[in-house]
């Protein structure tokens, strides 16, 4: 995996799960004193340390980012010879069991471009400590199993930093000479240092409150720049809904008297669950109908809920070590998915979640960076904040819920929270709590934590219709992944039913079959009609499914299945089978798909949101994932051909759907959202049909809409095609929203995702646009991240797309290694492509690896991708 020939000093160490040892020293109390300034901040830390167990090992405090001590004192005495630096660690030999350690350091927030530790964003000072950022602020045992009570004193210039926030309760504040002021915060809950946060700046507050079920009033604050205050209403409503939901569904009440959220514009991820002081990427807080799409509103509700839910699943019960990351992330993703499903349409939410899983996690599981949801080793933990840990982690807990039933699962989570409250726990602890509370035996189920790779399940139904009998043969294989050549069969819960081929009704209802061996046979009798297999209802297991159902059965299911997910899935499978056959060079007939789409469009019982999902063709990437060797251009061409035929053959129906959806008035509700979604989907098909008025329609939608969903939707359709309307819309959009960074991000993304053939050149030019910068992660991802998922453009056979992304990775790595490393996987999947592209991609990876001074973040991703 790692290049053995590389000099030892150049190969960063591998951290292994099996090497875990409890901490030698605990830190029950920490008092921090910040003299804040953008260019120079002084940090004094007082740590009460306690030896754990009998050993003679010294106290080791982590440092990072060039942290050097100004002074170190032990039990009140400044000692120069009692400590030493070992790499980034401060090492102190201590004679007794209890000591007081005081350190002082100076750091430079304005020079910190990594966005880890204390940094400056838009004039604010803020922190990001997960996973290992706290060590860039002060010397400390930076590991999640060291829990401390924090007292934080912050001092700063009052004019520049009128608001001073940290975790917990606000204890004191006051003015100081020289235009300075201070604030004192105390968090009564012991926490690991990755949950520490502070913010200083000129912020306005949307203040509100929430009364808990036990009658406590919590002060809520969402802190943003004054100009953004009007865009915080949706986030506040989402927060209150989350608080009520967690009480109702998981019995979890909020614990502090205050809950604050701060929005910042430079942030490596979505948001961070710091105790009582969540810090958010502004894109997951700020919204109004003119500047945010329905998808943005949904994402805000989901992320606000996710971070809030971490207060229990993450903060009250935290992780013992970073290998347990899915303990908090998988569980919390499941919780936010359940919340969002309850707020809107559960079927549509499930479709969206599965689409996201297939887009991000399945390829990861099938590529060089595949890892189990509880990994065994890493070089840089930031690289493991992955779709596998988050989304597959959520699927695994969702399966436990299915196996245990809702009551058993709730008993399990109650026991888990109860047993581990205030402690750092493991994935194993979670599973044991589930077993103890429900009596279930999850021994084999644990394989989901140790084995990587997406299981493939084959389902073959043999019928003996006259005798009323059928036999379902289920087989599974788990593909080899790096470091795991052999796999054991896993327990796969499959919700299924047999549908009567005449009535469309499920004969004998839905049943849950657990495929827990390599093979399993399920027998049915008393069937009154010829059966059709409907399987993996609600996507009950995160698998790839292969069946022997032909186009007629799939079309039937797409029209009749009672499980909405299975119904959607049947249509997807029908489309996918057609597209995969075409991509393999077979001649295909589009009539079956066209008929099924016609049925869906004319079914009066379906709501618009479902229809809009069901008629969408599988993405180019997902089609490619089904092929042995991918030629992205061929995939794009066959997909476009089916789109054109669907557009042309069903033009009148698209026009009807468009007209129906157009009559919709703006409102953020599931039904209005569904109509907006259908409207732009229909517009896309009208454009694909090259109807003479498509550009006029699209431009009118662009110009006249009163909301960003419709406007951006129309701009996206225009951006994919030729014409003056395209240029007019893009220019107008840029003018209209100049200065609104989150909207300008959309302007970049729309162009980066364009299906036009000149997209690679256009994207290179956009990288020279005055609004582009690699220093802001949102802006970088809006152009480069979007381009890297644009299958046809990124994989342009000239290789210029690969070169462009590799150059960006190298450029960003010097500033922000975490964000640079997240761009690697698109190049890393080179083995899946035809030889010309594969060679070009590998060449770029080799060029990156040869560059001097590579971060360990990028080194790990690139070396594993080549390995
Ligand atoms: N715990 C955060 C979440 O899932 C993730 C996160 C936010 C993060 N910022 C980060 C992870 C920086 C690594 C680095 O909600
Ligand atoms: Zn999280």
Domain shared by 313 and 389, yes or no: no
CATH number for position 341? 1.10.390.10
Give the Cβ contact number of residue 842 at 10 Å: 18
pLDDT in tens, 108-149: 999 999 999 999 999 999 999 999 999 999 999 999 999 999
Q: Which of 271, 275, 302, 330 to mutate to test the pocket of ligand 1 (most atoms within 8 A of CB)?
A: 271
How far is ligand 1, taken at its centre, from the CA of residue 812, in Å? Answer: 19
pLDDT in tens, 188-230: 999 999 999 999 999 999 999 999 999 999 999 999 999 999 9
Please give the share of the chain, as a percent, with pLDDT higher than 70.
Answer: 99
- Residue 455 domain-assigned? no
* Spatial separation of the C-alpha atoms in residues 796 and 759, rounded to whole Å: 9
Domain shared by 851 and 779, yes or no: yes
DSSP letter for each residue of 199-265:
EEE--EEEEEEEE-TTS-EEEEEEEE-GGGGGGGHHHHHHHHHHHHHHHHHH-----SSEEEEEEES
Distance of CA 865 to the CA centre of its chain: 21
pLDDT in tens, 357-395: 999 999 999 999 999 999 999 999 999 999 999 999 999
pLDDT in tens, 554-593: 999 999 999 999 999 999 999 999 999 999 999 999 999 9
For residue 262, pLDDT beyond 50 = yes
Q: Are 819 and 812 in contact (CB under 8 A)?
A: yes
Q: Nearest 10 degrees: CA dihedral of 116, 117, 121, 124?
A: 160
Domain shared by 156 and 29, yes or no: yes
Q: Which of 132, 197, 268, 326 to mutate to test the pocket of ligand 1 (most atoms within 8 A of CB)?
A: 268
Which ligand has an atom closest to residue 192 CA? 1
Angle between helices 724-736 and 741-752 (to 10 degrees): 160
Q: Is 169 helix (H, G, I), strand (E, B) or coil?
A: strand
How far is ligand 1, taken at its centre, from the CA of residue 342, in Å? Answer: 25
Q: Is 307 tagged catalytic? A: yes
How far is ligand 1, taken at its centre, from the CA of residue 327, in Å? Answer: 14
Domain shared by 314 and 335, yes or no: no
Residue closest by Cα to atom 3 of ligand 1: 272
How far is ligand 1, taken at its centre, from the CA of residue 170, in Å? Answer: 25
Catalytic residue, from 120, 130, 273, 307: name it.
307
pLDDT at 662: 86
Domain shared by 161 and 203, yes or no: yes
- Residue 581 domain-assigned? no
- Residue 668 domain-assigned? no
For residue 3, pLDDT beyond 50 = no
For residue 82, the enclosing domain spans 15-318
- Domain end point (choices 450, 481, 507): 450
Burial category of 229 from C-beta neighbours within 10 Å (exposed 0-12, middle 13-18, buried 19 and up): middle
pLDDT in tens, 474-527: 999 999 999 999 999 999 999 999 999 999 999 999 999 999 999 999 999 999
How far is ligand 2, taken at its centre, from the CA of residue 305, in Å? Answer: 10
Instruction: State the closest ligand 1 atom to the C-alpha of 390, by its place in the atom list counted from 1.
Output: 4
Q: Locate 596 and state its tokens.
A: 């099924």
Q: What pLDDT band is residue 665 in, cutting at 50, 70 and 90?
A: confident
- In this prediction the pTM is 0.98
Q: What pLDDT band is residue 465 in, cutting at 50, 70 and 90?
A: low
pLDDT in tens, 795-806: 999 999 999 999
CATH number for position 123? 2.60.40.1730
Domain shared by 40 and 164, yes or no: yes
- Residue 605 domain-assigned? no
Q: Are 647 and 654 in contact (CB under 8 A)?
A: yes
CA distances 165 to 35, 206, 229, 273, Å, are 14, 15, 18, 14
Nearest to 636 by CA among 519, 627, 278: 627
How far is ligand 1, taken at its centre, from the CA of residue 280, in Å? Answer: 10
Residue closest by Cα to atom 11 of ligand 1: 130
Q: Which of 272, 280, 383, 822 to mutate to test the pocket of ligand 1 (most atoms within 8 A of CB)?
A: 272
CA distances 608 to 83, 242, 293, 297, 657, Å, are 67, 27, 17, 18, 9
Domain shared by 200 and 210, yes or no: yes
Residue closest by Cα to atom 15 of ligand 1: 272
Q: What's the average model confidence in pLDDT over 465-482?
A: 93
- Residue 777 domain-assigned? yes
- Residue 472 domain-assigned? no
pLDDT at 444: 98
- Residue 239 domain-assigned? yes
Residue closest by Cα to atom 1 of ligand 1: 272
> How many domains does the chain divide into?
3
pLDDT in tens, 24-64: 999 999 999 999 999 999 999 999 999 999 999 999 999 99
- Residue 814 domain-assigned? yes
Domain shared by 386 and 332, yes or no: yes
pLDDT in tens, 414-461: 999 999 999 999 999 999 999 999 999 999 999 999 999 999 999 999
* Spatial separation of the C-alpha atoms in residues 47 and 36, rounded to whole Å: 20
Domain shared by 762 and 837, yes or no: yes
Domain shared by 821 and 764, yes or no: yes
Distance of CA 474 to the CA centre of its chain: 32
CATH number for position 822? 1.25.50.10
Q: Which of 337, 385, 390, 394 to mutate to test the pocket of ligand 1 (most atoms within 8 A of CB)?
A: 385
Nearest to 752 by CA among 708, 801, 707, 703: 801
* Spatial separation of the C-alpha atoms in residues 136 and 41, rounded to whole Å: 12
Q: Which residues surround ligand 2, an ion (CB under 5 A)?
A: 329, 332
Q: What pLDDT band is residue 7 in, cutting at 50, 70 and 90?
A: very low
How far is ligand 1, taken at its centre, from the CA of residue 311, in Å? Answer: 14
User: What's the mean pLDDT when you consider all of the chain?
Assistant: 97
pLDDT at 10: 66
Relative to beta strand 258-264, strand 277-281 is parallel
- Domain end point (choices 450, 479, 500): 450
Domain shared by 329 and 375, yes or no: yes
Domain shared by 203 and 76, yes or no: yes
pLDDT at 812: 98
pLDDT in tens, 288-332: 999 999 999 999 999 999 999 999 999 999 999 999 999 999 999
Q: What's the average model confidence in pLDDT over 705-716?
A: 98
For residue 242, pLDDT beyond 50 = yes
For residue 8, pLDDT beyond 60 = no
Q: Is 427 helix (H, G, I), strand (E, B) or coil?
A: helix
- Domain end point (choices 287, 302, 318): 318
The residue whose two tokens read 């008297």 is 257
Residues with CB under 6 A from ligand 1: 128, 130-131, 268-269, 271-273, 306-307, 329, 382, 385
């Amino acid at each position: 995996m790692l290049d053995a020939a590389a000099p030892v000093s150049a190969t960063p160490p591998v951290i292994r799960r099996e090497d875990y040892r409890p901490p030698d020293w605990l830190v029950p109390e920490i008092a921090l004193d910040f003299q804040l300034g953008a260019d120079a901040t002084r940090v004094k830390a007082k740590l009460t340390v306690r030896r754990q167990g009998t050993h003679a090992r010294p106290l080791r405090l982590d440092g990072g980012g060039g942290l050097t001590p100004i002074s170190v004192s032990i039990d009140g005495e400044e000692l120069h010879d009692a400590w030493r630096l070992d790499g980034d660690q401060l090492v102190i030999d201590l004679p007794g069991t209890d000591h007081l350690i005081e350190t002082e350091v100076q750091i430079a927030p304005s020079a910190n471009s990594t966005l880890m530790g204390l940094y400056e964003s838009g004039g604010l000072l803020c922190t990001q400590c997960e996973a290992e950022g706290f060590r860039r602020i002060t010397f400390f045992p930076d590991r999640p199993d060291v829990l401390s009570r924090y007292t934080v004193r912050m001092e700063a210039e009052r004019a520049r930093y009128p608001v001073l926030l940290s975790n917990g309760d606000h204890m004191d504040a006051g003015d100081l000479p020289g235009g300075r002021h201070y604030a004192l915060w105390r968090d009564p809950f012991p926490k690991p240092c990755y949950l520490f946060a502070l913010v200083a700046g000129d912020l306005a507050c949307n203040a509100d409150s929430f009364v808990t079920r036990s009658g406590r009033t919590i002060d809520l604050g969402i802190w943003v720049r004054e100009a953004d205050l009007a865009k915080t209403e949706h986030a506040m409503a989402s927060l209150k809904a989350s608080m009520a939901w967690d009480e109702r569904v998981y019995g979890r009440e909020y614990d502090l008297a205050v809950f604050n959220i701060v929005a910042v514009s430079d942030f490596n991820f979505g948001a961070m669950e710091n105790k009582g002081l969540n810090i958010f990427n502004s894109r997951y807080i700020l919204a109004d109908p003119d500047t945010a799409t329905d998808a943005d509103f949904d994402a805000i509700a989901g992320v606000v809920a996710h971070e809030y839910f971490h207060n229990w699943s993450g903060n009250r019960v935290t992780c013992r070590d970073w290998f347990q990351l899915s303990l908090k992330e998988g569980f919390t993703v499941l919780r936010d998915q359940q919340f969002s499903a309850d707020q809107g349409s559960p079927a549509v939410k499930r479709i969206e979640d599965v689409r996201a899983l297939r887009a991000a996690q399945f390829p990861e599981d099938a590529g060089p960076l595949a890892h189990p949801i509880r990994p065994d080793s890493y070089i840089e933990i930031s690289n493991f904040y992955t779709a596998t840990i988050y989304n597959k982690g959520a699927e695994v807990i969702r399966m436990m819920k299915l196996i245990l039933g809702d009551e058993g699962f709730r008993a399990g989570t109650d026991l888990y929270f109860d047993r581990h409250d205030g402690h750092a726990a493991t994935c194993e602890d979670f599973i044991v709590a589930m077993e103890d509370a429900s009596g279930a035996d999850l021994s084999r189920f644990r394989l989901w934590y140790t084995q990587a790779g997406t299981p493939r399940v084959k389902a073959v139904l043999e019928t003996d219709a006259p005798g009323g009998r059928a036999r379902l043969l289920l087989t599974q294989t788990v593909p080899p992944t790096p470091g795991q050549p052999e796999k054991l069969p896993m327990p796969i819960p499959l919700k299924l039913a047999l549908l009567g081929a005449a009535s469309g009704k499920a004969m004998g209802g839905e049943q849950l079959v657990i495929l827990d061996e390599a093979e399993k046979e399920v027998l049915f009798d008393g069937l009154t009609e010829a059966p059709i297999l409907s399987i993996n209802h609600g996507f009950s297991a995160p698998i790839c499914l292969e069946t022997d159902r032909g186009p007629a059965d799939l079309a039937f299911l797409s029209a009749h299945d009672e499980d909405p997910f299975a119904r959607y899935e049947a249509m997807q499978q029908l489309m996918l089978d057609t597209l995969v056959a075409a991509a393999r060079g077979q001649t295909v007939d589009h009539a079956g798909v066209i008929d099924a789409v016609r049925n869906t469009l004319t079914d009066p019982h379906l709501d618009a949101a479902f229809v809009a999902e069901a008629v969408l063709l599988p993405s180019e990437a997902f089609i490619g994932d089904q092929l042995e060797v991918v030629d992205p251009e061929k995939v794009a061409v066959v997909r476009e051909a089916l789109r054109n035929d669907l557009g042309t053959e069903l033009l009148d129906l698209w026009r009807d759907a468009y007209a129906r959806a157009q009559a919709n008035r703006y409102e953020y509700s599931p039904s209005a959202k569904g109509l907006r979604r259908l409207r732009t989907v229909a517009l896309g098909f009208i454009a694909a049909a090259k109807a003479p008025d498509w550009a006029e329609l699209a431009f009118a939608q662009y110009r006249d809409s009163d909301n960003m969903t419709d406007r951006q939707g129309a701009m996206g359709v225009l951006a994919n095609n030729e014409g003056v309307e395209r240029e007019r819309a893009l220019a107008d959009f840029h003018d209209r929203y100049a200065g609104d960074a989150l909207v300008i991000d959309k302007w970049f993304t729309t162009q980066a995702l364009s299906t036009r053939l000149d997209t690679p050149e256009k994207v290179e030019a956009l990288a020279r646009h005055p609004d582009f910068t690699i220093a802001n992660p949102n802006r970088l991802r809006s152009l480069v991240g979007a381009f890297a998922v644009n299958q046809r453009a990124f994989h342009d056979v000239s290789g210029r797309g690969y070169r462009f992304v590799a150059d960006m990775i190298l450029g960003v790595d010097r500033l922000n290694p975490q964000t640079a490393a997240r761009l690697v996987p698109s190049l890393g999947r080179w083995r899946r492509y035809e030889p010309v592209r594969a060679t070009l991609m590998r060449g770029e990876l080799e060029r990156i690896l040869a560059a001097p001074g590579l971060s360990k973040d990028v080194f790990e991703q690139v070396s594993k991708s080549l390995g």
